[in-house]
Chain A
Amino acid sequence: MDKENLVELKNIWKKYKIIGKFKKSLRESISSFFKEKEEIEDDEFWALEDINLTLKKGECISIYGPNGSGKTTILKLISSITYPTKGEINIKGKVAPLISLGAGFHNDLTGRENILTNGSILGMSIKEIKEKEESIIEFSELDRKFIDMPVRKYSTGMNTRLGFSVAVHSTAEIILLDEILAVGDEKFREKCHEKIKELKETKSIILVSHHMDIVRSIVDRIVYIKKGKIVEEEEIKKESRQN
Protein backbone atom coordinates (compact mmCIF):
# COMPACT_ATOMS: atom_id res chain seq x y z
CA MET A 1 0.00 0.00 0.00
CA ASP A 2 1.28 3.44 -0.95
CA LYS A 3 2.45 5.29 2.12
CA GLU A 4 0.43 8.41 1.43
CA ASN A 5 -2.82 6.62 0.72
CA LEU A 6 -5.39 6.23 3.45
CA VAL A 7 -7.90 4.48 1.23
CA GLU A 8 -7.19 2.23 -1.73
CA LEU A 9 -9.80 0.45 -3.79
CA LYS A 10 -8.22 -1.86 -6.36
CA ASN A 11 -10.33 -3.39 -9.13
CA ILE A 12 -13.42 -3.53 -6.99
CA TRP A 13 -16.47 -5.40 -8.24
CA LYS A 14 -19.64 -5.54 -6.21
CA LYS A 15 -22.56 -7.77 -7.01
CA TYR A 16 -26.07 -7.29 -5.62
CA LYS A 17 -29.12 -9.46 -5.73
CA ILE A 18 -32.37 -8.20 -7.11
CA ILE A 19 -34.42 -9.26 -4.15
CA GLY A 20 -38.02 -10.20 -4.73
CA LYS A 21 -37.52 -11.31 -8.30
CA PHE A 22 -37.70 -14.86 -7.11
CA LYS A 23 -36.95 -16.29 -3.74
CA LYS A 24 -34.28 -18.93 -3.72
CA SER A 25 -35.13 -22.28 -2.31
CA LEU A 26 -33.46 -23.28 0.91
CA ARG A 27 -31.32 -25.85 -0.91
CA GLU A 28 -30.03 -23.27 -3.38
CA SER A 29 -29.22 -20.77 -0.71
CA ILE A 30 -27.35 -23.39 1.29
CA SER A 31 -25.29 -24.34 -1.74
CA SER A 32 -24.51 -20.71 -2.60
CA PHE A 33 -23.59 -20.14 1.03
CA PHE A 34 -20.60 -22.40 0.57
CA LYS A 35 -19.58 -21.22 -2.88
CA GLU A 36 -18.41 -17.75 -3.75
CA LYS A 37 -19.37 -17.37 -7.38
CA GLU A 38 -17.83 -14.68 -9.50
CA GLU A 39 -20.23 -14.70 -12.45
CA ILE A 40 -23.62 -13.14 -12.20
CA GLU A 41 -26.89 -14.98 -12.43
CA ASP A 42 -30.33 -13.90 -13.58
CA ASP A 43 -31.25 -12.31 -10.31
CA GLU A 44 -28.00 -10.44 -9.82
CA PHE A 45 -26.29 -7.39 -11.25
CA TRP A 46 -23.02 -5.53 -10.90
CA ALA A 47 -23.54 -2.44 -8.77
CA LEU A 48 -19.85 -1.60 -9.16
CA GLU A 49 -17.53 -2.63 -11.95
CA ASP A 50 -13.78 -2.44 -11.74
CA ILE A 51 -13.53 0.57 -9.45
CA ASN A 52 -10.09 2.00 -8.72
CA LEU A 53 -9.98 4.81 -6.23
CA THR A 54 -7.48 6.28 -3.82
CA LEU A 55 -7.74 8.86 -1.11
CA LYS A 56 -4.50 10.44 0.01
CA LYS A 57 -3.77 11.87 3.40
CA GLY A 58 -5.22 15.36 3.69
CA GLU A 59 -7.11 15.02 0.44
CA CYS A 60 -10.77 15.87 -0.07
CA ILE A 61 -12.51 14.26 -3.00
CA SER A 62 -16.03 14.01 -4.26
CA ILE A 63 -17.87 11.17 -5.95
CA TYR A 64 -20.43 12.59 -8.33
CA GLY A 65 -23.10 10.77 -10.30
CA PRO A 66 -26.82 10.17 -10.72
CA ASN A 67 -28.99 8.28 -8.22
CA GLY A 68 -28.31 4.58 -8.17
CA SER A 69 -24.87 4.87 -9.72
CA GLY A 70 -23.12 3.24 -6.75
CA LYS A 71 -21.85 6.16 -4.66
CA THR A 72 -23.28 4.93 -1.37
CA THR A 73 -22.06 1.43 -2.16
CA ILE A 74 -18.48 2.73 -2.49
CA LEU A 75 -18.76 4.46 0.89
CA LYS A 76 -20.19 1.31 2.44
CA LEU A 77 -17.27 -0.71 1.12
CA ILE A 78 -14.76 1.75 2.56
CA SER A 79 -16.43 1.59 5.96
CA SER A 80 -16.66 -2.26 5.97
CA ILE A 81 -20.43 -2.20 6.17
CA THR A 82 -20.44 -4.39 3.11
CA TYR A 83 -17.74 -6.35 1.30
CA PRO A 84 -16.61 -6.51 -2.33
CA THR A 85 -17.33 -9.51 -4.52
CA LYS A 86 -13.90 -9.13 -6.12
CA GLY A 87 -10.97 -6.83 -5.60
CA GLU A 88 -8.87 -5.46 -2.81
CA ILE A 89 -9.53 -2.74 -0.26
CA ASN A 90 -6.88 -1.20 1.97
CA ILE A 91 -7.77 1.26 4.71
CA LYS A 92 -5.38 3.05 7.03
CA GLY A 93 -6.97 4.84 9.95
CA LYS A 94 -10.36 5.14 11.56
CA VAL A 95 -13.37 5.78 9.32
CA ALA A 96 -16.44 7.79 10.27
CA PRO A 97 -19.12 6.99 7.71
CA LEU A 98 -21.83 9.61 7.79
CA ILE A 99 -24.11 7.76 5.47
CA SER A 100 -26.95 9.27 7.37
CA LEU A 101 -26.97 11.58 10.33
CA GLY A 102 -27.88 10.45 13.80
CA ALA A 103 -27.37 6.70 13.36
CA GLY A 104 -28.81 5.04 16.44
CA PHE A 105 -30.81 8.05 17.61
CA HIS A 106 -33.63 6.82 19.76
CA ASN A 107 -36.79 8.87 20.12
CA ASP A 108 -37.21 8.13 23.81
CA LEU A 109 -33.72 9.26 24.71
CA THR A 110 -32.82 12.87 25.37
CA GLY A 111 -30.59 14.93 23.12
CA ARG A 112 -27.74 14.53 25.56
CA GLU A 113 -28.19 10.75 25.74
CA ASN A 114 -28.34 10.50 21.98
CA ILE A 115 -25.08 12.41 21.69
CA LEU A 116 -23.54 9.66 23.78
CA THR A 117 -25.04 6.79 21.77
CA ASN A 118 -24.40 8.34 18.39
CA GLY A 119 -20.85 9.38 19.28
CA SER A 120 -20.08 5.91 20.50
CA ILE A 121 -21.47 4.35 17.33
CA LEU A 122 -19.21 6.70 15.36
CA GLY A 123 -16.23 5.32 17.24
CA MET A 124 -15.62 7.94 19.91
CA SER A 125 -14.81 6.86 23.44
CA ILE A 126 -17.15 7.81 26.27
CA LYS A 127 -14.46 10.07 27.68
CA GLU A 128 -14.01 11.91 24.40
CA ILE A 129 -17.74 12.41 24.03
CA LYS A 130 -18.08 13.82 27.52
CA GLU A 131 -15.22 16.22 26.84
CA LYS A 132 -16.76 17.39 23.60
CA GLU A 133 -20.35 17.42 24.78
CA GLU A 134 -20.52 21.16 25.39
CA SER A 135 -18.93 21.96 22.08
CA ILE A 136 -21.32 19.58 20.30
CA ILE A 137 -24.36 21.23 21.86
CA GLU A 138 -22.90 24.64 21.11
CA PHE A 139 -22.34 23.84 17.45
CA SER A 140 -25.85 22.44 17.00
CA GLU A 141 -27.27 25.78 18.21
CA LEU A 142 -30.00 23.88 20.01
CA ASP A 143 -31.81 25.72 22.72
CA ARG A 144 -30.40 24.51 26.07
CA LYS A 145 -33.84 23.72 27.36
CA PHE A 146 -34.28 21.07 24.67
CA ILE A 147 -31.09 19.15 25.27
CA ASP A 148 -32.52 17.15 28.15
CA MET A 149 -35.79 16.47 26.40
CA PRO A 150 -36.46 13.32 24.35
CA VAL A 151 -35.63 13.88 20.70
CA ARG A 152 -39.17 12.76 19.88
CA LYS A 153 -40.05 16.37 20.70
CA TYR A 154 -37.51 17.79 18.26
CA SER A 155 -38.28 19.00 14.78
CA THR A 156 -36.62 17.13 11.92
CA GLY A 157 -34.25 20.03 11.41
CA MET A 158 -33.19 20.00 15.05
CA ASN A 159 -32.54 16.28 14.83
CA THR A 160 -30.28 16.53 11.82
CA ARG A 161 -28.45 19.50 13.31
CA LEU A 162 -27.62 17.51 16.39
CA GLY A 163 -26.62 14.54 14.22
CA PHE A 164 -24.36 16.69 12.09
CA SER A 165 -22.86 18.28 15.14
CA VAL A 166 -21.89 14.94 16.68
CA ALA A 167 -20.56 13.79 13.34
CA VAL A 168 -18.16 16.68 12.81
CA HIS A 169 -16.72 16.15 16.27
CA SER A 170 -15.70 12.62 15.35
CA THR A 171 -12.09 11.72 15.98
CA ALA A 172 -11.73 9.59 12.85
CA GLU A 173 -9.10 10.44 10.23
CA ILE A 174 -11.27 9.51 7.29
CA ILE A 175 -14.68 11.08 6.96
CA LEU A 176 -17.30 9.94 4.47
CA LEU A 177 -20.18 12.34 3.89
CA ASP A 178 -23.14 10.99 1.94
CA GLU A 179 -25.63 13.59 0.74
CA ILE A 180 -25.94 15.19 4.12
CA LEU A 181 -24.93 18.70 3.17
CA ALA A 182 -28.45 19.93 2.75
CA VAL A 183 -29.27 19.93 6.44
CA GLY A 184 -31.12 22.57 8.40
CA ASP A 185 -31.96 26.09 7.32
CA GLU A 186 -29.83 28.24 5.09
CA LYS A 187 -27.79 29.73 7.89
CA PHE A 188 -26.94 26.34 9.35
CA ARG A 189 -26.13 25.00 5.90
CA GLU A 190 -23.63 27.78 5.44
CA LYS A 191 -22.10 26.89 8.78
CA CYS A 192 -21.82 23.22 7.73
CA HIS A 193 -19.91 24.14 4.60
CA GLU A 194 -17.53 26.27 6.62
CA LYS A 195 -17.08 23.39 9.07
CA ILE A 196 -16.26 20.95 6.30
CA LYS A 197 -13.68 23.35 4.88
CA GLU A 198 -12.21 23.53 8.36
CA LEU A 199 -12.21 19.73 8.74
CA LYS A 200 -10.32 19.50 5.47
CA GLU A 201 -7.28 20.91 7.21
CA THR A 202 -6.93 17.92 9.52
CA LYS A 203 -8.83 15.06 7.88
CA SER A 204 -9.30 13.20 4.65
CA ILE A 205 -12.79 13.45 3.26
CA ILE A 206 -14.93 11.80 0.63
CA LEU A 207 -17.94 13.92 -0.12
CA VAL A 208 -21.04 12.86 -1.99
CA SER A 209 -23.36 15.69 -2.91
CA HIS A 210 -25.53 16.77 -5.79
CA HIS A 211 -24.73 20.45 -5.24
CA MET A 212 -22.04 20.92 -7.85
CA ASP A 213 -21.19 24.49 -6.89
CA ILE A 214 -20.60 23.54 -3.27
CA VAL A 215 -18.60 20.48 -4.27
CA ARG A 216 -16.39 22.58 -6.55
CA SER A 217 -15.72 25.10 -3.83
CA ILE A 218 -14.55 22.44 -1.40
CA VAL A 219 -12.89 19.44 -2.99
CA ASP A 220 -9.55 18.79 -4.69
CA ARG A 221 -10.78 16.16 -7.10
CA ILE A 222 -14.09 14.96 -8.50
CA VAL A 223 -14.63 11.37 -9.53
CA TYR A 224 -17.55 10.97 -11.92
CA ILE A 225 -19.40 7.71 -11.72
CA LYS A 226 -22.12 6.32 -13.93
CA LYS A 227 -23.88 2.96 -13.67
CA GLY A 228 -21.22 1.58 -11.37
CA LYS A 229 -18.24 2.64 -13.49
CA ILE A 230 -15.86 5.53 -13.07
CA VAL A 231 -16.16 7.58 -16.24
CA GLU A 232 -13.95 10.58 -15.55
CA GLU A 233 -11.73 12.21 -12.96
CA GLU A 234 -11.23 15.94 -12.69
CA GLU A 235 -8.66 17.79 -10.62
CA ILE A 236 -9.98 21.05 -9.20
CA LYS A 237 -7.27 23.69 -9.12
CA LYS A 238 -7.03 25.65 -5.93
CA GLU A 239 -7.13 29.00 -7.75
CA SER A 240 -10.32 28.15 -9.56
CA ARG A 241 -12.14 27.41 -6.32
CA GLN A 242 -14.57 30.19 -5.69
CA ASN A 243 -14.87 30.99 -2.03
Chain B
Amino acid sequence: MLLLKRLFEYRELLYIFTWRHFTVRYRNTALGIVWAIIQPLVMMFLFTFLFTYVLKTGTGDIPKEVFFYASLLPWTFFSSSINYSTSSLVGNYGIITKIYFPREILPLSGILVAVIDLLIASVIYLFLLIIFKITLTFNVLWIIPIFILLFIFTMSCSFIFSCLNVYYRDVGLLTRFVVRLLFFASPVLYSIDSLSLKLKLLLFFNPLTFIIENMRRCVLEQRGVVLWQFAFAATLVIILFFFAHKLFIKTEKDFADVI
Protein backbone atom coordinates (compact mmCIF):
# COMPACT_ATOMS: atom_id res chain seq x y z
CA MET B 1 0.00 0.00 0.00
CA LEU B 2 1.16 3.46 -0.95
CA LEU B 3 0.61 4.88 2.53
CA LEU B 4 2.79 2.28 4.23
CA LYS B 5 5.47 2.74 1.61
CA ARG B 6 5.51 6.47 2.18
CA LEU B 7 5.56 6.16 5.93
CA PHE B 8 8.11 3.40 6.27
CA GLU B 9 11.14 5.64 5.97
CA TYR B 10 9.57 8.13 8.35
CA ARG B 11 8.27 5.69 10.95
CA GLU B 12 10.46 7.14 13.68
CA LEU B 13 9.13 10.60 12.98
CA LEU B 14 5.58 9.30 13.27
CA TYR B 15 6.51 7.77 16.58
CA ILE B 16 8.12 11.01 17.76
CA PHE B 17 5.10 13.09 16.73
CA THR B 18 2.74 10.72 18.51
CA TRP B 19 4.89 10.78 21.63
CA ARG B 20 5.15 14.57 21.44
CA HIS B 21 1.42 15.03 21.03
CA PHE B 22 0.65 12.62 23.86
CA THR B 23 3.20 14.18 26.22
CA VAL B 24 2.18 17.74 25.51
CA ARG B 25 -1.47 16.93 25.99
CA TYR B 26 -1.15 15.50 29.45
CA ARG B 27 1.76 17.54 30.72
CA ASN B 28 0.90 20.15 33.35
CA THR B 29 -2.48 18.54 33.96
CA ALA B 30 -3.26 17.38 37.47
CA LEU B 31 -5.23 14.34 36.34
CA GLY B 32 -3.03 13.31 33.43
CA ILE B 33 -4.18 10.26 31.50
CA VAL B 34 -7.26 9.93 33.72
CA TRP B 35 -8.74 12.46 31.29
CA ALA B 36 -8.85 9.68 28.70
CA ILE B 37 -11.35 7.89 30.93
CA ILE B 38 -13.35 10.87 32.13
CA GLN B 39 -14.99 11.77 28.84
CA PRO B 40 -16.59 8.41 27.98
CA LEU B 41 -17.36 7.74 31.62
CA VAL B 42 -19.20 11.01 32.21
CA MET B 43 -21.14 10.62 28.97
CA MET B 44 -22.04 7.09 29.98
CA PHE B 45 -23.47 8.27 33.30
CA LEU B 46 -25.29 11.09 31.61
CA PHE B 47 -26.97 8.80 29.07
CA THR B 48 -27.79 6.22 31.70
CA PHE B 49 -29.44 8.88 33.80
CA LEU B 50 -31.32 10.34 30.83
CA PHE B 51 -32.61 7.04 29.58
CA THR B 52 -33.54 5.78 33.02
CA TYR B 53 -35.36 8.78 34.38
CA VAL B 54 -36.25 11.04 31.50
CA LEU B 55 -36.83 9.05 28.35
CA LYS B 56 -37.39 5.63 29.84
CA THR B 57 -36.52 3.65 26.72
CA GLY B 58 -34.69 0.44 27.27
CA THR B 59 -31.56 -1.12 25.82
CA GLY B 60 -32.96 -4.64 25.90
CA ASP B 61 -31.41 -7.16 28.24
CA ILE B 62 -28.17 -5.26 28.44
CA PRO B 63 -27.53 -2.95 31.39
CA LYS B 64 -27.55 0.63 30.16
CA GLU B 65 -24.17 1.44 31.68
CA VAL B 66 -22.32 -1.19 29.64
CA PHE B 67 -24.42 -0.57 26.56
CA PHE B 68 -23.56 3.11 26.44
CA TYR B 69 -19.96 2.66 27.44
CA ALA B 70 -19.50 0.04 24.71
CA SER B 71 -20.75 2.44 22.05
CA LEU B 72 -19.05 5.51 23.47
CA LEU B 73 -15.58 3.98 23.21
CA PRO B 74 -15.50 3.73 19.39
CA TRP B 75 -17.48 6.95 19.09
CA THR B 76 -15.08 8.93 21.29
CA PHE B 77 -12.18 7.50 19.34
CA PHE B 78 -13.71 8.65 16.09
CA SER B 79 -14.83 12.09 17.19
CA SER B 80 -11.67 13.06 19.06
CA SER B 81 -9.52 11.86 16.15
CA ILE B 82 -11.49 13.97 13.71
CA ASN B 83 -11.53 17.00 15.97
CA TYR B 84 -7.77 16.90 16.37
CA SER B 85 -6.75 15.98 12.87
CA THR B 86 -8.93 18.48 11.03
CA SER B 87 -6.69 21.28 12.28
CA SER B 88 -3.52 19.19 12.39
CA LEU B 89 -2.09 20.58 9.16
CA VAL B 90 -3.12 24.18 9.64
CA GLY B 91 -2.02 24.07 13.28
CA ASN B 92 1.44 22.85 12.34
CA TYR B 93 1.95 25.60 9.81
CA GLY B 94 5.43 26.30 11.20
CA ILE B 95 6.71 22.80 10.51
CA ILE B 96 5.01 22.36 7.15
CA THR B 97 6.61 25.45 5.63
CA LYS B 98 10.06 24.52 6.88
CA ILE B 99 10.67 20.87 6.36
CA TYR B 100 9.53 18.03 4.15
CA PHE B 101 8.05 14.79 5.42
CA PRO B 102 4.93 12.89 4.35
CA ARG B 103 2.21 15.13 5.73
CA GLU B 104 0.01 12.16 6.63
CA ILE B 105 2.13 11.94 9.75
CA LEU B 106 0.39 14.94 11.27
CA PRO B 107 -3.22 13.70 11.24
CA LEU B 108 -2.03 10.15 11.89
CA SER B 109 -0.18 11.03 15.06
CA GLY B 110 -3.42 12.49 16.43
CA ILE B 111 -5.27 9.28 15.60
CA LEU B 112 -2.58 7.19 17.28
CA VAL B 113 -2.94 9.25 20.45
CA ALA B 114 -6.67 8.53 20.27
CA VAL B 115 -5.78 4.82 20.09
CA ILE B 116 -3.80 5.16 23.30
CA ASP B 117 -6.72 6.97 24.93
CA LEU B 118 -9.02 4.20 23.75
CA LEU B 119 -6.82 1.55 25.30
CA ILE B 120 -6.74 3.41 28.59
CA ALA B 121 -10.51 3.85 28.58
CA SER B 122 -10.93 0.15 27.79
CA VAL B 123 -9.70 -0.72 31.26
CA ILE B 124 -12.95 0.68 32.64
CA TYR B 125 -14.81 -1.33 30.03
CA LEU B 126 -13.27 -4.51 31.42
CA PHE B 127 -14.36 -3.54 34.93
CA LEU B 128 -17.90 -2.91 33.72
CA LEU B 129 -17.97 -6.31 32.02
CA ILE B 130 -16.96 -7.97 35.27
CA ILE B 131 -19.35 -5.93 37.44
CA PHE B 132 -22.31 -6.70 35.20
CA LYS B 133 -21.23 -10.32 34.80
CA ILE B 134 -21.07 -10.36 31.01
CA THR B 135 -19.64 -13.64 29.80
CA LEU B 136 -17.47 -13.51 26.72
CA THR B 137 -17.23 -15.95 23.84
CA PHE B 138 -14.79 -16.27 20.96
CA ASN B 139 -16.97 -13.83 19.05
CA VAL B 140 -15.18 -11.12 21.02
CA LEU B 141 -12.30 -11.52 18.60
CA TRP B 142 -14.40 -9.85 15.92
CA ILE B 143 -13.52 -6.63 17.66
CA ILE B 144 -10.08 -6.71 16.04
CA PRO B 145 -11.09 -6.66 12.35
CA ILE B 146 -13.88 -4.21 13.14
CA PHE B 147 -11.47 -1.92 14.90
CA ILE B 148 -9.13 -2.01 11.92
CA LEU B 149 -12.09 -0.95 9.82
CA LEU B 150 -12.82 1.88 12.24
CA PHE B 151 -9.18 2.95 12.11
CA ILE B 152 -9.13 3.10 8.31
CA PHE B 153 -12.44 4.92 8.21
CA THR B 154 -11.24 7.48 10.76
CA MET B 155 -8.01 7.93 8.85
CA SER B 156 -9.88 8.52 5.59
CA CYS B 157 -12.14 11.17 7.11
CA SER B 158 -9.11 12.81 8.75
CA PHE B 159 -7.23 12.98 5.46
CA ILE B 160 -10.16 14.56 3.66
CA PHE B 161 -11.01 17.10 6.35
CA SER B 162 -7.44 18.09 7.20
CA CYS B 163 -6.36 18.74 3.63
CA LEU B 164 -9.50 20.62 2.68
CA ASN B 165 -9.09 22.73 5.81
CA VAL B 166 -5.80 24.01 4.40
CA TYR B 167 -7.72 25.62 1.54
CA TYR B 168 -10.94 26.56 3.23
CA ARG B 169 -11.06 27.16 6.94
CA ASP B 170 -14.84 26.64 6.72
CA VAL B 171 -14.06 22.96 6.79
CA GLY B 172 -13.03 23.17 10.42
CA LEU B 173 -16.41 24.59 11.34
CA LEU B 174 -18.21 22.21 9.04
CA THR B 175 -16.64 19.09 10.51
CA ARG B 176 -17.72 19.96 14.03
CA PHE B 177 -21.23 20.13 12.69
CA VAL B 178 -20.91 16.92 10.65
CA VAL B 179 -19.52 15.04 13.63
CA ARG B 180 -22.46 16.12 15.72
CA LEU B 181 -24.90 14.95 13.05
CA LEU B 182 -23.06 11.65 12.71
CA PHE B 183 -23.46 11.09 16.42
CA PHE B 184 -27.20 10.75 15.91
CA ALA B 185 -26.87 8.88 12.64
CA SER B 186 -24.74 6.23 14.35
CA PRO B 187 -26.09 3.69 16.81
CA VAL B 188 -24.49 5.15 19.92
CA LEU B 189 -27.67 5.81 21.85
CA TYR B 190 -29.75 3.09 20.29
CA SER B 191 -29.44 -0.30 18.68
CA ILE B 192 -30.36 -0.62 15.03
CA ASP B 193 -32.32 -3.76 15.97
CA SER B 194 -35.09 -1.42 17.06
CA LEU B 195 -35.32 0.38 13.72
CA SER B 196 -37.42 -0.26 10.63
CA LEU B 197 -35.77 -2.10 7.75
CA LYS B 198 -35.77 0.95 5.48
CA LEU B 199 -34.03 3.09 8.04
CA LYS B 200 -31.55 0.29 8.75
CA LEU B 201 -30.59 0.05 5.10
CA LEU B 202 -30.16 3.80 4.88
CA LEU B 203 -27.98 3.94 7.96
CA PHE B 204 -25.77 1.20 6.62
CA PHE B 205 -24.26 3.66 4.20
CA ASN B 206 -22.65 5.21 7.26
CA PRO B 207 -19.81 2.76 8.02
CA LEU B 208 -19.97 3.75 11.68
CA THR B 209 -23.37 2.09 11.91
CA PHE B 210 -21.91 -1.30 11.17
CA ILE B 211 -18.80 -0.65 13.22
CA ILE B 212 -20.36 0.60 16.44
CA GLU B 213 -23.28 -1.81 16.37
CA ASN B 214 -21.04 -4.83 15.89
CA MET B 215 -18.31 -3.78 18.29
CA ARG B 216 -21.03 -3.78 20.91
CA ARG B 217 -22.78 -6.94 19.79
CA CYS B 218 -19.76 -9.17 19.66
CA VAL B 219 -18.90 -8.36 23.25
CA LEU B 220 -22.20 -7.81 25.01
CA GLU B 221 -24.47 -10.16 23.07
CA GLN B 222 -21.81 -12.69 22.13
CA ARG B 223 -23.04 -12.47 18.55
CA GLY B 224 -20.92 -13.01 15.49
CA VAL B 225 -20.84 -10.64 12.53
CA VAL B 226 -22.99 -11.08 9.45
CA LEU B 227 -20.39 -11.64 6.77
CA TRP B 228 -22.04 -9.82 3.89
CA GLN B 229 -22.50 -6.80 6.13
CA PHE B 230 -18.85 -6.87 7.02
CA ALA B 231 -17.91 -7.16 3.36
CA PHE B 232 -20.21 -4.28 2.48
CA ALA B 233 -18.84 -1.98 5.18
CA ALA B 234 -15.27 -2.94 4.36
CA THR B 235 -15.81 -2.18 0.68
CA LEU B 236 -17.25 1.23 1.47
CA VAL B 237 -14.38 2.05 3.79
CA ILE B 238 -11.67 0.89 1.41
CA ILE B 239 -13.09 2.84 -1.52
CA LEU B 240 -13.30 5.91 0.70
CA PHE B 241 -9.73 5.39 1.85
CA PHE B 242 -8.32 5.26 -1.66
CA PHE B 243 -10.19 8.37 -2.61
CA ALA B 244 -9.12 10.18 0.57
CA HIS B 245 -5.47 9.31 0.26
CA LYS B 246 -5.40 10.27 -3.40
CA LEU B 247 -6.90 13.63 -2.60
CA PHE B 248 -4.39 14.10 0.21
CA ILE B 249 -1.38 13.31 -1.96
CA LYS B 250 -2.65 15.40 -4.82
CA THR B 251 -3.06 18.46 -2.58
CA GLU B 252 -0.02 17.83 -0.40
CA LYS B 253 2.37 19.49 -2.83
CA ASP B 254 0.55 22.79 -2.43
CA PHE B 255 0.24 22.76 1.35
CA ALA B 256 3.34 24.86 2.03
CA ASP B 257 2.30 27.43 -0.59
CA VAL B 258 -1.32 28.00 0.35
CA ILE B 259 -1.41 27.30 4.06
Residues of chain A whose beta carbon lies under 8 Å from any beta carbon of chain B? 16-17, 19, 29, 33, 76, 79-83, 97, 99-100, 103-104, 106, 108-109, 113, 116-117, 120-122, 125-126
Min distance, Cβ A109 to any Cβ of chain B, angstroms: 7
Q: Are A16 and B257 in contact (CB under 8 A)?
A: yes
Residues of chain B whose beta carbon lies under 8 Å from any beta carbon of chain A? 12-13, 15-16, 20, 23-24, 27-28, 94-101, 167, 250, 253, 256-258
Interface of B is mostly: helix
Q: Which residues of A contact B97 (CB under 8 A)?
A: 76, 81, 99
For B258, give its contact among A19, A83, A99, A120 (CB under 8 Å).
Answer: A19
For A121, give its contact among B28, B95, B256, B258 (CB under 8 Å).
Answer: B95
Q: Given A81-B256, A82-B256, A120-B12, answer yes or no on A106-B98 (Cβ-Cβ < 8 Å).
A: no
Q: Which residues of A contact B20 (CB under 8 A)?
A: 104, 106, 109, 113, 117
Interface pairs (28), CB distance under 8 Å: A16-B257, A29-B167, A76-B256, A79-B100, A80-B100, A81-B99, A82-B253, A82-B256, A83-B253, A97-B99, A99-B99, A100-B98, A103-B94, A103-B95, A103-B98, A104-B20, A106-B20, A108-B24, A108-B28, A109-B24, A116-B16, A120-B12, A120-B16, A121-B13, A121-B16, A121-B99, A121-B101, A122-B99
Interface of A is mostly: loop
Q: A82-B257, A121-B99 are in contact. List 14 more A-B contacts (CB 8 A).
A: A17-B257, A82-B253, A97-B99, A97-B100, A103-B95, A103-B98, A104-B20, A104-B95, A108-B23, A109-B20, A109-B27, A117-B20, A121-B16, A126-B16
Q: Given A106-B20, A120-B12, answer yes or no on A17-B258 (Cβ-Cβ < 8 Å).
A: yes
Closest 8 CB pairs of A and B: A80-B100, A120-B16, A103-B98, A99-B98, A81-B256, A82-B256, A83-B253, A108-B24
Q: Given A117-B20, A125-B12, answer yes or no on A103-B257 (Cβ-Cβ < 8 Å).
A: no
Q: Which residues of B contact A113 (CB under 8 A)?
A: 20, 23
Q: Which residues of A contact B100 (CB under 8 A)?
A: 79-81, 97
What separation, in Å, do the CA atoms of A17 and B230 have in the docked complex?
Answer: 46
Q: Are B94 and A126 in contact (CB under 8 A)?
A: no
Q: Are A97 and B98 in contact (CB under 8 A)?
A: yes
Shortest Cβ distance from A116 into B: residue: B16
Shortest Cβ distance from A127 into B: residue: B12
What separation, in Å, do the CA atoms of A120 and B109 have in the docked complex?
Answer: 14
What separation, in Å, do the CA atoms of A79 and B56 have in the docked complex?
Answer: 61
What separation, in Å, do the CA atoms of A47 and B12 have in the docked complex?
Answer: 35
Q: Are B256 and A109 in contact (CB under 8 A)?
A: no
Q: Given A19-B258, A116-B16, answer yes or no on A109-B23 (Cβ-Cβ < 8 Å).
A: yes
What separation, in Å, do the CA atoms of A100 and B97 have in the docked complex?
Answer: 10
Min distance, Cβ B253 to any Cβ of chain A, angstroms: 5
What separation, in Å, do the CA atoms of A150 and B101 have in the docked complex?
Answer: 26
Q: Given A16-B257, A103-B94, A106-B24, answer yes or no on A79-B12 (Cβ-Cβ < 8 Å).
A: no
Min distance, Cβ B167 to any Cβ of chain A, angstroms: 7
Min distance, Cβ A105 to any Cβ of chain B, angstroms: 9
Q: Which residues of A contact B27 (CB under 8 A)?
A: 108-109
Q: Which residues of B contact A83 (CB under 8 A)?
A: 253
What separation, in Å, do the CA atoms of A99 and B250 have in the docked complex?
Answer: 25
Among B20, B96, B98, B256, the most chain A Cβ lie within 10 Å of the Cβ of B98
Q: Are B24 and A81 in contact (CB under 8 A)?
A: no
Q: Which residues of A contact B28 (CB under 8 A)?
A: 108
Min distance, Cβ A32 to any Cβ of chain B, angstroms: 11
Min distance, Cβ A78 to any Cβ of chain B, angstroms: 10
